[in-house]
Amino acid sequence: MPLIDAFVSGLDGLRSAVGQHASSRIGTDVFRRSVNRLDAEWKRTREEVDRWSLFADADLDYIQRHITWLATAAVGRPATQDVRAVILETTSKFDQALIPAYHDSLWQQFGTGYDSLLYDERPLFDEAFRCVNVECYRAAILLMWAVAASRIRLFVVKSMGWPRFNAASQGVQASQAGHFRAFNRPYTAATPAELALVPDAHILAVLLHESAIDSSEFAALRECLDRRNICGHPGRYNPGSFKVLSQADDVFNIVTMNPRLTP
C-alpha cells in the first residue's frame, strides 16, 4: 500500500505541475522533477503489484507506456496539451482498472481488523466505509480516527485508571525530551468527562510513556491524527481513497488489534 499511495501522490503532483503551466509547451524544472519522481514511484509500484497478481497485464502495460512517454517527453519541451491528455488517460486507467481491484483486496484483508472492533466502534467504521463508497474521503478519515480515539480513551478508563494516567501525564510533561518535547502542559483527569478535554496527541504521548505503543507506532499515529486534523478544517487538501485505506490500516494494526491496548 505505501508504494501505490506514493505513486498516486506522484501522479497528483504531476497533474498540479502541469495545471499551473500556462504556456503551450512545458520545459520547467518542476515538470521534469515531477516526471522523474513519478517514473521512480511507478517502477517500485510495478514490482509490488506484479507480486500480487491482482491486475491484468494489459492494464499495467497501458500505464507503463504512458509513464515511458512522459519520461521521454520530460527531456524536451512537450506540448502542454499532449502532456495533459496523457496524464488524464493514465489517471483514468488507474482509477478504472487498478483501484477497484486493489480496494477489494484491501477491504477483504480488513475483515480481521473489523472483528477487532468493539461494539461502539463498529458504527464509526461502517459509516467511514459508506463515506468511501460515495468518495467522501475527508469524512472517512475523520471517522477512522474516531475509532482510534474511542479505543485509546477506553483503554485509559478501563485499563490504566486515573492515578496511573495522571502520573504518566506528569511524566510526559516533565520529560521534555524526544517525542515528549512538545508536551509542556500536564493534564489530569478523574472522570471520562474530564478525559474528554485532554487532546488526543497528549493521550498518545502517555501511551508511549507507558510503553503501550512504541516510538514508531507513536509516529504513525501522530501522522494519522495530523491527517485527521487537516481533513477536519477548511482547506484545499483533497485526499484520495488510498489515504483512507492507509488510515484504516494503521488504526487496525496499531490500535484495535494491538493486545497492549486491550481495555
- DSSP for the chain, written as a single string: -HHHHHHHHHHHHHHHHHHT--SSB---HHHHHHHHHHHHHHHHHHHHHHHHT-S-HHHHHHHHHHHHHHHHHTTS--BHHHHHHHHHHHHHHIIIIIHHHHHHHHHHHHHHHHHT--TTTHHHHHHHHHHHHTT-HHHHHHHHHHHHHHHHHHHIIIII-HHHHHHHHHHHHHH-SGGGTT--S----SSHHHHTTS-HHHHHHHHHHTTSS-HHHHHHHHHHHHHHHHHTSSSS----HHHHHHHHHHIIIIIIT-GGG--
Determine the average pLDDT of the residues in 94-102.
Answer: 63
Rg (CA), the chain: 22
Distance separating alpha carbons of residues 246 and 5, to the nearest angstrom: 8
Q: Is the pLDDT of residue 263 over 90?
A: no
Output the nine-digit C-alpha cell for 72: 521521454
Q: How many residues does the chain have?
A: 263
Winning range, highest mean pLDDT, from 19-23, 46-50, 100-104: 46-50
Burial 158-188 (b: 16+ CB within 10 A, else e): eebeeeebbebbeebbeeeeebbeebeeebe
Determine the average pLDDT of the residues in 197-203.
Answer: 94
For 178: left if phi > 0, alpha if psi spans -120 to 50, otherwise beta; the answer is left
Write the single-letter amino acid at 8: V
CA atoms within 13 A on the CB side of 195: 22
Winning range, highest mean pLDDT, from 34-43, 118-127, 171-180, 205-214: 205-214
pLDDT band at 220 (very low <50, low <70, confident <90, very high): very high
Domains (range + CATH), the chain: 2-102 (1.20.120), 116-261 (no CATH)
Share of the chain above pLDDT 90, in %: 34
Burial 201-216 (b: 16+ CB within 10 A, else e): bbbbbbbbbbebbeee
Determine the average pLDDT of the residues in 224-250.
Answer: 87
Average pLDDT taken over every residue of the chain: 82
Q: Is the pLDDT of residue 1 over 60?
A: no
Low-confidence winner among 29-43, 96-110, 133-147, 207-221 (lowest mean pLDDT): 96-110
Q: Which residue has the cell 516526471?
A: 35
Write the single-letter amino acid at 185: R
Q: Is the pLDDT of residue 96 over 70?
A: no
